[in-house]
Amino acid sequence: MIIESARNGTFKKLLSLTASKGLKEEGLFLLSGEKLVREFLKKPNLGVVHEIVAPGGAVLTEEAKTIRLAAPLFAEMDVLGTHFNILVLEQPAMPVLTAADMASYVPHGIELAAPVGDPGNLGALIRSCEAFGVSRVILPREAAHPFLPKCVKASAGSVLRALLACGPALSDFPPSCIALDPRGTPIDAFAWPENGLLVVGEEGPGLGNNAFPTQVRIPTKTVESLNVVVAASIALSRIPQR
């Protein structure tokens, strides 16, 4: 398929995948970046719907319908500026947890709730969760969509492998959660449970007005707070591996 007009219905649908609304409506997402695309095609674990070929580029897979866009249209799709083929993939299934589910929620192993609105931070955080063996990442309503292009890139592909779930607003999460908070117990003195749900907030807004009695902190000098990815990574590295 060759598309030369921005008014083309298929192009509009593809372009919608660069924003949360389109991701939710279509159930698809874009995989960009030469390294990520080539690594994925070696062992694909999600359905490939389209391959959008970069201007002057070669087709990489015969498993999907090929789309060639006029150069200005490809530049509009290539929001990360990779200048390489883009794959349109089916989103993996993400269970949806309701407020009622969270009222009696029992985590399995160490899980993490990430009300992180910045897609770059969220992607990097999901990568750390994979690195430190988090059993599941729950995305509260306040979180960015995990399959935004910037989030996928920042995760270095971890969003393709991590076990993700969508949750309700953070205010509906149970008080049994463990909050990363500057008022909590010093992390080296905290006894981590075998099963627990760690909640982390972005620098600045933190966890808002949500109260979680069990709190753990990372002692720092001269600075008041750390980037959410840095803080969560430190915390996860302190959890005993079981």
Average pLDDT over the chain, rounded to whole? 93
Compute the distance between CA of residue 143 and CA of residue 128 in angstroms, rounded to an integer.
16
> At 204, is the pLDDT very low, low, confident or very high (cuts 50, 70, 90)?
low
Residues 83-121: tens digit of each pLDDT: 999 999 999 999 999 999 999 999 999 999 999 999 999
The pairs formed by 72-77 with CB atoms below 8 angstroms and a separation of 24 or more are 73/3, 73/4, 73/6, 73/11, 76/6, 76/15, 77/14, 77/15, 77/18, 77/30, 77/52
Q: How far, in whole angstroms, is CA 232 from its chain's centroid? A: 14
pTM over 0.85: yes
Lookup result for tokens 């924003």: 19
For position 183, what pLDDT does the model report? 85
210 or 2: which leads in pLDDT? 2
CATH 3.40.1280.10-classified regions of the chain: 99-238
Find out if CATH 3.30.1330.30 is the number for domain 2-90: yes
Contact 159, 146 (CB under 8 A): yes
- The CA–CA distances, whole Å, from 99 to 88, 116, 172 equal 32, 19, 5
Domain span(s) for CATH 3.30.1330.30 in the chain: 2-90
Tell me the mean pLDDT in the region 187-195: 92
Two tokens, residue 162:
């991590």
For 213-233, what is each residue's pLDDT tens digit? Answer: 999 999 888 877 789 999 999
pLDDT of 42 > 70? The answer is: yes
Residue (of 72, 79, 75, 73) closest to 29 by Cα position: 79
Query: What's the CA gap between 149 and 237, in Å, rounded?
Result: 27
Q: What is the mean pLDDT of residues 146-150?
A: 97
Question: Average of pLDDT values for 16-27?
Answer: 97
Half-sphere exposure of 157 (CA within 13 A, CB side): 14
Fold of the CATH domain 99-238: Alpha/beta knot (3.40.1280)
